[in-house]
Chain A
């Protein structure tokens, strides 16, 4: 059964995102995909979709959709109102009636929210992926009022309805970085400043990157490096000393020196923070970074597996298995 979601109202920076299209950076094409990969995966998993399936990424401007028939939707890091009534959870599932007005925005602690649909949102694909590169609009697409999104194979899963309080998507704690690849150009004093000073998230944050407020990180030597490939997580420092952390739609190359690189498993938590949020960096060695990546991958696998169990309501499963956000016996 195909249902449709009609976009009634839509702010900027609302797009279709699947797990991304890695592998094309040599052609100038970033992987794109969700800025907050964990929240995106959680939303999909709650309605038994693959973690990297297409879902909607919603920024502060918000999104209002109306379905032409009843559908089951899942959200993560969202505040949802159905016909003006707030649901009161930020992670969970809701089945809405045909014609209901579904208003979605990131929850008060998050910069990006995600909406998935049981059955799956169908969207155009480019290079095998529905992830949207926002500036070009290539991929699944940037949403605007009047768009109609098909939900292929829409199924009602009202037995899953309800909030999932146990999923902890909030942030805290230092953001781990590996120094380099150009830390040597900055000088010891500037690197020490990165490691010891508080920084603050600014409002200048989009899918390409987030600028941070804090002490100047201007390199000790003005230097010109040839433009070189960069990664999601690179902390590049422009001539004004302001650091920018590159995110999902980052330019594939850059000529600014990079003082450090945020490790991939701490990027979701960083990108989730709202303007004004404080943060600190914690420098770790490459081996420690790999260990952290492996531990976090295992934690996420368990979390998503617990959320995906098909035979119980979410509340029941979480209560029984106590796997979410709690002690982790395997690491």
Chain B
């Protein structure tokens, strides 16, 4: 197959690149590799990205060459399949909970209710986590709602904010600055242990939003 270059990252990790033309296909193979590889000898942790996978290993047990060799022998077709789970996240849209909803509507040439309807109608996939604990990047923002990030970040955006930029949406877990557009706030906790997971979603899961009254 299957994997492209395996690049050393310091003394205790390699970055495995998955090559391909179709981003969805690449991402699917990243996740298959993630599942196939997690129990290999000397591997401490595997972290999937969008087009690559970081494999942390214990340099007292193995080394870059051994890990690369193991990678070449991985048979993706035998990766255990997992059924993505479905999640529903409750959101209060607009008002003080979503101060940028009006701006998003104006930029999209829609009215505010239409923005909410379209955001709720879309289905999202958990593409990867990043930035901070529980920050799950959800792909699938409808084209007509896609805006680039703001020029400057806004400070002290509360935890639980539902924010969008480009094709991505996320529910924040910390009060932090963000340059994304704040369209609502959720009372659904993301960073809570569920079934031995520290966060509600796994990469690959499906998420929908549901509008609730404030």
Q: Do A and B bind each other?
A: yes
> Least Cβ distance of A299 to chain B in Å?
13
Q: From A292, which residue of chain B is reached at the shortest CB distance?
A: B11
Q: List 25 A-B contacts (CB under 8 A).
A: A25-B54, A26-B47, A27-B197, A28-B130, A28-B199, A30-B133, A135-B176, A136-B132, A136-B133, A138-B133, A181-B9, A227-B49, A227-B50, A227-B128, A227-B130, A228-B51, A229-B48, A229-B54, A251-B130, A251-B131, A252-B47, A261-B9, A263-B11, A289-B59, A290-B63
CB of A258 to closest CB in B, whole Å: 8
Q: B138 within 8 Å of A by Cβ?
A: no
Measured CB to CB, the closest approach of chain B to A284, in angstroms, equals 9
Interface residues of B in 64-103 (CB under 8 A from A): 64-65
Give the residues in chain A near B112, CB-CB below 8 Å. none
User: Footprint of A on B, CB under 8 Å?
Assistant: 7-13, 15, 44-54, 56, 59-60, 63-65, 128-137, 173-174, 176, 191, 193, 197-199, 203
Within the complex, which residue of A26, A30, A263, A264 is in contact with B48, where a contact is CB–CB below 8 Å? A26
Contact with B along A150-177 (1 / 0, CB 8 A): 0000000000000000000000000001
Which residue in B11, B129, B137, B173 is a CB contact (below 8 Å) of A293? B11
A29 near B133 with CB under 8 A, answer: yes
User: Chain B CB within 10 Å — which of A29, A136, A229, A293 has the most?
Assistant: A229
Given known A-B contacts A253-B49, A264-B11, A286-B64, A27 and B133 have beta carbons under 8 A apart: yes
10 A-B pairs closest in CB distance:
A253-B130, A289-B11, A261-B10, A28-B129, A229-B54, A229-B47, A293-B59, A286-B8, A181-B7, A228-B49
List A1-44 residues whose CB lies under 8 Å from chain B. 22-30
Per a CB cutoff under 8 Å, which of B44, B65, B130, B191 touches A252?
B130
Q: A23-B45, A263-B10 are contacts. A226–B50 as well, Cβ < 8 Å?
A: yes
Q: Which residues on B sit within 8 Å (CB–CB) of A180?
A: 7-9
Chain B CB within 8 A of A133 CB: yes
Contact B50 A264 (CB under 8 A): no
Q: Which residues of A contact B137 (CB under 8 A)?
A: 227
Taking the nearest CB of chain B, how far is it from the CB of A302, in angstroms?
Answer: 15
Whether the pair A28, B132 counts as a contact (CB closer than 8 A) is yes
Distance, CA A286 to CA B11, complexed state (A): 6
Q: Is A229's CB under 8 angstroms from B49's CB?
A: yes
CB of A233 within 8 A of CB of B130, answer no
Nearest chain B CB to A128 CB, angstrom units: 10
Q: Say yes or no: B130 contacts A27, CB within 8 Å.
A: no
User: CA A25 – CA B130 in complex, angstroms?
Assistant: 8
A265 in contact (CB, < 8 A): yes
Q: A26-B48, A263-B11 in contact; A286/B63 too (CB < 8 A)?
A: yes
Residues of A within 8 A of B131 (CB): 28, 251-253
Q: How far is the CA of A287 from the CA of B191 in the complex (A)?
A: 38
Instruction: Please name all residues of chain A whose beta carbon is closer than 8 Å to the beta carbon of B174 when the two chains form the complex.
Output: 135-136
Known interface pairs A135-B174, A226-B51, A293-B60. Does A27 touch B11 (Cβ–Cβ under 8 Å)? no
Chain B residues with CB under 8 A of A22: 44-45, 56
Report Cα–Cα, A24/B203, bound state, in Å.
12
Check if A234 is an interface residue, CB within 8 A of chain B: yes
Shortest distance between the CB of B174 and any CB in chain A (Å): 5
Give the residue among A25, A27, A180, A231 with the most B Cβ atoms within 10 A: A27
Which residue on chain B has the smallest CB distance to residue A23? B45
B residues near A263, Cβ cutoff 8 Å: 10-11
**Beta-carbon contact of B132 and A27 below 8 Å:** no
A297 on the B face (CB < 8 A): yes
- 16 new A-B contacts, CB < 8 A, other than A28-B132, A178-B9, A228-B54, are A22-B45, A26-B129, A27-B133, A27-B199, A28-B135, A138-B191, A178-B11, A229-B48, A251-B131, A252-B130, A258-B9, A264-B10, A264-B59, A286-B11, A289-B10, A292-B11
